[in-house]
Structure formats: structure tokens, C-alpha cells
Amino acid sequence: MSKQPIGFFDSGVGGTSIWKEVISLLPHENSIYLADSRNAPYGEKSAEEILALSVKNTEKLLELHCKLIVVACNTATTNAIDFLRKTYPIPFIGIEPAIKPAALSSKSKTIGILATKGTLSSALFARTSSLYASDLNVIEVIGTGLVERIEKGLINTTETRELLQTYLDPMIAENMDYLVLGCSHYPYLIPILKELLPEEVQIIDSGRAVALQTRKILESNSLLNTSKEKGSHSLYTNASVETLANLTQDVVSKKEIGYLDF
């Protein structure tokens, strides 16, 4: 099984921010990525809809013989990963907002969390927040419209900057010193966020932590690919291929990008 691919899925192209971290840390692993852009964003859907979409994506990746699945979506993780782990016989890696490192490091005792409605309203998020941030001022902001703009490739635009500024202003006013990105699409906004935020504000996303956890789980399950060859990668979307291609053009040459109806 070790040569079988690692599977990834997200409600679109955003999870490629996680995919990049994993394949950078594990260059000999093969991978398959599913961008469920047709159903983006998950964050506005009901818990039942999110679970059904997560099951659909999981079963497609199992059909493609994946040995482990990274749920590269905060909303899908917080609403579906417990069910996926109980239902399917392979390991799952989830992604949730990195509240713990922000809470432990904050000097101002105020942190901001920019996430989707589906993540912020989930039981898993509530548990994590109460565990690590109960004594902090936590400012939660729903990033309505950001996923849709990233899906369309409208990242470095005046409209996106203005929208982001409206979400950041209440956090800046409360003197936050850490901003936690609670959606795998949002790391693509980091260059703009750095321009808009005071320089003392630190931005935290989950990509590196997910990559390290993926390596750990592969090792503990004897699934690590011991091949010395660079991995090959297949990235599929059920909508427009253009944004997926643009966001991954600077990553690994040994890859194919295409349309897949799933």
C-alpha cells in the first residue's frame, strides 16, 4: 500500500495550500487532490449537506485507491471527520483552526479568527475554543464571500482588499496580536493580509501542522512511501480548471490537472 497515493479533498481549490505543505515535506509521496468547486463554499451549507459531500469525496478517493485521506477543509473536518473515521478503514487527517498556538502565544490576550460559518458554528470548534481560549478575548469573524472570490481567481483585487478590511477592522480595534485563518482557502490571502494588518500581528494557518501530522500517521501505520523517486500528482476539479491550474503552477512538474465529474 505504501506506493498508493495520499488523497486530499476540499470545497474547491483552497485545500491546495495544505496539499503544497504536505508534498513539500513528503516529496516521494504520490497524491490525488479533489477540488469540489461545484459545491463551494461548504461553509454556508447545513451540517447534513457537509457530511454528504464529505462522504461523496471520500468514496471517490477510495475508488482511486488512496491509502490515507487529508480532509483539507476546516468546515468538512469540523462537521464530518468523526463520522469518516468511524466509517472507513483508512486513516484521516483533519484540519481545524490553530487556536492552541495562538492562545498560548498571545501577549494581548486577544486573538482573531477568520473562518466560515460552518466552522465557527461546529461542535468541534466550540470544544477546541473552550479548551484553549476560554480566558482570552476571541473575536470570531465569518469571512463571507472570500471563498467565492478565491475560487474565481479574484485574489489581488480592490474589492477583495476592501472586503478583507471590513473583516479585520473589528479585530484590529480590539488590539489582537494573532490572526488565526480558519479556512484552507485563506492562506492565499496572506500577502494582502500582511499589507492590511499592523506589523505586530502574527498570522497562523494549519498547513505545516497538517503536513507533520500526515508524516507521523504514515510512519505509525507503515504507509510511508520508501521510493527514492519524486511523487506524481493528479489534481481534479468538477468545475473550471483554470484557477486550480493557476494556484498550483509553481509546484512540482510531475503533475496532471484536469476535470473530473464527482
Catalytic residue positions, numbered: 73, 183
- How many other C-beta atoms lie within 10 A of the C-beta of residue 240? 16
Q: Which three cell numbers stand for residue 7?
A: 488523497
Q: Is the peptide bond before 187 cis (omega within 30 degrees of 0)?
A: no
How far is 53 from 55, CA to CA, in rounded Å?
5
How far is 255 from 235, CA to CA, in rounded Å?
8
